[in-house]
Amino acid sequence: MKLPKRYKPKEAEPRWQKAWEEAGIYRFDRFPDRPIYSIDTPPPTVSGAIHIGHVFSYVQAEVIARFWRMRGMNVYYPFGFDDNGLPSERLVEKEKGVKATDVGREAFVRMCLELTQRYEDEFKVFWRSLGLSVDWDENYSTIDPTSQRISQRSFLDLFEKGRVYRKEAPTLWCPECHTAIAQAEVEDAEHGSVFYDVAFRLDGKDLIISTTRPELLPACVAMFAHPSDERYKGIIGKKATVPLFDHEVPILLDEKADPEKGTGLVMCCTFGDTTDIAWWQEHGLDTRIVFDETGRMNELAPGYEGLGLKEARGRMVEDLKSGGLLKGEEPISHTVNVHERCGTEIEFSVASQWFIRVLDIKDEIIEAGGKVDWYPNYMEIRFRNWVENLKWDWCVSRQRYYGVPFPLWSCKACGEVVLATDEMLPVDPTVTSPPVDSCPKCGAFDLEPERDIMDTWMTSSCTPFLNIRWREPDSKLERFKKADAEKGSEFLMDLRPQAHDIIRTWAYYTIVKGVLNEGKIPWRTAMISGHGLHPDRAKISKSKGPISHAPSEIIEEQSADATRYWACSNRLGTDTIVAEEGFDAGKRLVVKLWNASKFAIMRLEDYDPDAPRELALIDRWLLARFANAAGRATRSFEECEYHGAVEVVEPFFWHCLCDNYIEIAKKRLYGDEGYDEASRRGAQYALYQSLLGVLKMLAPVVPHVTEEIHSLYFAEREGVESIHVSSWPEPPAEWTDAVALEAGDLALAVIEGMRKVKSTHKVSVATPVGTLRVACDDDTWTKIEPFTSELRDVSNAQSVVHVTEAGDEFVETDVAAIRVAAELIVE
């Protein structure tokens, strides 16, 4: 078999993707007897186009999947889509130009299903074009009936375990999305604002407070000063009058009032921020909620009813001014809490919401997280810090349409909750009748369906359960579950790959569900990737300019293998910038693999592993170098460090195998005179083994070109269908050869010196040499001497001799003790 002159990724990559799929190479249970390695793949949120950051983290995880498959595991590698909830709703609202509230629940849900389906089809095409070794038969969508059933089942289980409660509680509220949100969905933003100095009245005198939220004056329920603040000592416990609204509020002490800020007096409203809530709870203050769920002022703000918060602020500032109650204003920039999905400033509200109690089991959750192997290790600290700092139970209700419904009804008379039975799941209580006719507690007939839907994380946190088909008739739980010898506990799955920004959400919630629902840890290993930085965050490139294309265009232009190589070009967990030059290295490697294999396969045409062979010292050197590289690459992959592996294998391939070994062994491989057949067979053996090993170890990163080469020569000889289900290299012990390793490295130093001479004299590497003189001590020469014929071959020298004294014409080499002089024969 002779390899074509050039490798064409544009033709080969789609061809292999199709072939793999048809042959079911990546199918789960293709080798049912092998131990299972299960992956809790991140289901991408269907909220818009895929970006290059997705490529980055998915490839990194996928490379690890390929590694374990070659290590002989029965890899369970599913793919899901997260298409329920707010992100998808917002996508639909944006694309269709509608508001959920306007079109109604049923029509809106239909639009969501249609649009997300279209996106998912596009996504699948894209991920296939990247060569992901996913089993596409194993997939789910978080809105499909099974996912809804498992998600509702998880809720019911928590309910029965006493973990669920409904409470009128201060809630983070997004006035734009009209829904309660979780702490995890809040992020900071720097907003411009104004600090207003407002006069309250006490005993006929002004009391000045500073606030950025004058529209919350009607919601004011107290004033606070710091206990050490002498200025207000005399007035503590008295009641001040709120301007414009004339209700009275107590003046109290609390450590959290900052004496340095403004006048040292601060107003407490229900609710402006989390400090207000803390005060409200600790001091048992009144509740005055002044706006409704659409963000409009209500009857508690007489004169401002119906106004939005912003308008109300403007009007109140005007009124304060005209009433002489505004004593100063100062523009400031401060950080505010915004909803991460829409960027709107968060408000606080009191509403009836469903919660999962978690604050009492923080320690258990931290302990469970501690049993997971986090790569990189420091990511566990982020997880722990997040859990330690939790201040709220998990608010799981959302006042939206498109998502998983709560499987329950409430008695209108007494509030008793009626749960759906497991046989009813998935259930939408707004269309299905409850399992009982009347309230089991009070007997009333008016059972009201829960209209809220669950937070998307309620379902996303079930991904291990979706994969395992938790408490379904075809549950895989028993097959997947495994214990760790050291850590004891049972784990549901092996690997959770995800990016670092959602440790506090996805990883955290999944661990919560694992612990509460099943009493297990969801996975043994968490592999946390960084982000690909989009060009607008990178510096402006002078040369070519930044990449501004969609990922599919990048793959089209750069090839899937080069894109994958790029995604593996730095350490796990770190972010990297996307620049066009970043893809060159991968493209070069693909070409080099092809060319080197083309040569090797030509020389290996008559390779016979059973023919008598004799390994030269340089062959042993190559195999020793290979064994060394393979050991290190394997360890790296085991720790999810794909880059560490590439960094070891590629130099071995390029430098040891191509630049040196092949050059040195060429004449033997050609069967030139002076070499016997056994010696040629020895070289063939070393070449065959190391090239096949290199292809295998690079196969996870560049699966297409390695498969192409493998299929054209190795597949038949090795008796395997695909390199991707072939076995991972395990060099035999005898390849580890310290003597050959050291001696070979010394010989390479001589070659380096010889090349330096030729380069300095600006002649071709093929230029003949008369005598090649090696200056070194006797001991070193003893080690180099066995390579005399190789040195002669690669230098094109007539003879190689040892001297003890180096003259001026000798050049230095990498090894300080060795100097080299070469007598060039130039016509």
Partner RNA sequence: GGGCGAAUAGCUCAGCUGGUUAGAGCACCUGCCUUACAAGCAGGGGGUCACAGGUUCGAGUCCUGUUUCGCCCA
In the complex, the residues that contact RNA under the rule CB under 7 A are 6, 183-184, 186-188, 274, 335, 337, 378, 381-382, 385-386, 389, 391, 500-501, 504, 538-539, 569-571, 574-577, 579, 581-582, 584-585, 587-588, 591-592, 595-596, 598-599, 602, 643-644, 647, 651, 654, 658-659, 662-663, 666, 670, 752, 755-756, 758-760, 762-766, 814-816
The encoded tokens of residue 797 equal 């020298």
Question: For residue 21, how many other CB atoms are within 10 A of its CB?
Answer: 14
- Bridge partners, 207 (sequence order): 200
How far, in Å, CA of 460 to CA of 466, rounded? 9
The encoded tokens of residue 576 equal 């990297």
Q: Which lies closer to RNA via its Cβ, residue 493 or residue 769?
A: 769
The radius of gyration of the chain from alpha carbons, rounded to an integer in Å, stands at 35
Least distance from RNA to the Cβ atom of residue 794, Å: 10
Q: Which lies closer to RNA via its Cβ, residue 336 or residue 424?
A: 336
Instruction: List Cα–Cα distances, 676 to 783, 788, 827, in angstroms.
Output: 23, 16, 33
Least distance from RNA to the Cβ atom of residue 745, Å: 9
How far, in Å, CA of 710 to CA of 716, rounded? 9
Q: Which lies closer to RNA via its Cβ, residue 555 or residue 662?
A: 662
Contact 514, 521 (CB under 8 A): yes
Residue with tokens 């996975």: 523
Least distance from RNA to the Cβ atom of residue 826, Å: 11
E strand intervals along 182-306? 186-202, 205-211, 220-225, 239-241, 248-253, 266-269
Least distance from RNA to the Cβ atom of residue 212, Å: 15
Three-state secondary structure readout of 741-753: HHHHHHHHHHHHH
Which residues, including other chains, have CB under 8 Å from residue 281's CB and lie 6 or more apart?
none
Residue with tokens 């560049």: 702
Pick from 649, 620, 655, 612: nearest CA to 790:
620
How far, in Å, CA of 311 to CA of 303, rounded? 12
Least distance from RNA to the Cβ atom of residue 662, Å: 4
Least distance from RNA to the Cβ atom of residue 545, Å: 12
3-state secondary structure of 233: helix
Long-range contacts of 330-333 (CB under 8 A, 24+ apart): 330/194, 330/195, 331/192, 331/193, 331/194, 331/195, 332/192, 332/193, 332/194, 332/195, 332/212, 333/190, 333/191, 333/192, 333/193
Q: Which lies closer to RNA via its Cβ, residue 354 or residue 508?
A: 508
How far, in Å, CA of 643 to CA of 56, rounded? 13
Q: Which lies closer to RNA via its Cβ, residue 246 or residue 826?
A: 826
Q: Which lies closer to RNA via its Cβ, residue 21 or residue 663?
A: 663
Least distance from RNA to the Cβ atom of residue 188, Å: 6
Q: Which lies closer to RNA via its Cβ, residue 43 or residue 582?
A: 582
Q: Which lies closer to RNA via its Cβ, residue 575 or residue 614?
A: 575
Q: Which lies closer to RNA via its Cβ, residue 367 or residue 752?
A: 752
Pick from 598, 594, 654, 665: nearest CA to 629:
654
Q: Which lies closer to RNA via its Cβ, residue 139 or residue 275?
A: 275
Least distance from RNA to the Cβ atom of residue 735, Å: 20
Measured between alpha carbons, how far apart are the two ends of the chain, in Å?
A: 40
Least distance from RNA to the Cβ atom of residue 233, Å: 27
Pick from 511, 404, 452, 493: nearest CA to 180:
452
3-state secondary structure of 537: helix
Q: Which lies closer to RNA via its Cβ, residue 10 or residue 94?
A: 10
